[in-house]
Amino acid sequence: MISAIVQARMGSTRLPGKVMMEICGRPMLWHVIHRLRHAERLDSIVVATSEQMIDDEIEEFCRAEKVPCFRGSEKDVLDRYYQAAKWIGADVIVRITADCPLIDPEVVDSVVNKYLECECDYASNSELRTYPDGLDTEVFSFNALKRAWSEARMMSEREHVTPYIRNNKIIFTSADVFQERDLSTLRWTVDEPEDIEFVRNIYERLYRSDRVFLMDEVVNLLREDPKLLEINKGFERNEGYLRSLREDFAVDFPDKSD
């Protein structure tokens, strides 16, 4: 079974509560799930949040929307993913973050297809960057996830789920998904107030309840109205991960054996 696991929590450092901020009258998390439901390759979608009381709102939202919700460690997101994957019975995991309300179902399908064609441990469009920041899709096997869960010891590896897989290419086979156009300078993720303003502007222009707009439509809109690019320019890509690396430390986790 191919399962998208969407990590979501209310306690964002830079923009608290962002995953439940409204875009066109719906929470951002609703839009992420709605768009993922149009991906043809996904068998299930699970929201993985923390056990913190602040994230009760996310569980309540999932219950109302009839979306499976797994609750686990707040900081050890790798453990949260592993436990969620076991809970749902996933053979293949598609990692999506809830701060990507422009996630493109066709891009998700293309990364899953690459993973299946290559029969590798890990495939993504975020290593060799040609897609906008905010369309990041990672696909990996349950066995790769289990090994990373068992062996990863650095805090950055636990918090950001896939660094142990990505950085150990002798252990894990991998494949890159890229396109001829380099759109990697475009920022479509939501980490700052300016980002949510940008996304709301995009949705106001393109959103319709009867269809999902895709990456090319956003690119065309930005070409027609380049002033939109000024709203959230100047932020560093993957700032959270880079900060984790600067502050990294080894963690003595309990024995990770089943």
Residues 93-147: pLDDT tens digits?
999 999 999 999 999 999 999 999 999 999 999 999 999 999 999 999 999 999 9
CATH at 53? 3.90.550.10
Strand partners, 158: none
* pTM recorded for the entire structure: 0.91
pLDDT of residue 234: 84
Say if 255 falls within a structural domain: no
Average pLDDT over residues 235-254: 58
Q: Is residue 7 a part of any domain in this protein?
A: yes
**How many domains does the structure of the chain reveal?**
1
Rg of the chain (C-alpha set) = 17
In a domain, 28, yes or no: yes
Please give the angle made by the CA atoms of 6, 245 and 125, to the nearest 5 degrees: 45
Does residue 256 form part of some domain? no
Flag whether pLDDT at 80 surpasses 90: yes
Question: Residue 242 pLDDT more than 70?
Answer: no
Whether the predicted pLDDT of 3 surpasses 90: yes
Q: Which one, of 183, 175, 169, lies nearest residue 139 by Cα?
A: 175
Alpha-carbon distance of 17 to 210, in angstroms, equals: 27
Residues 6 or more apart whose CB falls under 8 angstroms from that of 226 comprise none
Q: Is the pLDDT of residue 248 over 80?
A: no
Q: Range of 54's domain?
A: 2-246
199-231 residue pLDDT tens: 999 999 999 999 999 999 999 999 999 999 999
Per the rule left: phi > 0, alpha: psi between -120 and 50, beta: everything else, 93 is beta
- Under the banding of pLDDT at 50, 70 and 90, the label for residue 237 is low
Categorize the per-residue pLDDT at 240 as very low, low, confident or very high, splitting at 50, 70 and 90: low
Domain assignment present for residue 67? The answer is: yes
> Domain for residue 254, yes or no?
no
Residues in CB range of 10: below 8 A, 6 or more apart: 16, 17, 19, 20, 52, 54, 55, 57, 58
Note the pLDDT of residue 257: 54
Residue 71 lies in a domain: yes
Do the domain assignments include residue 190?
Answer: yes
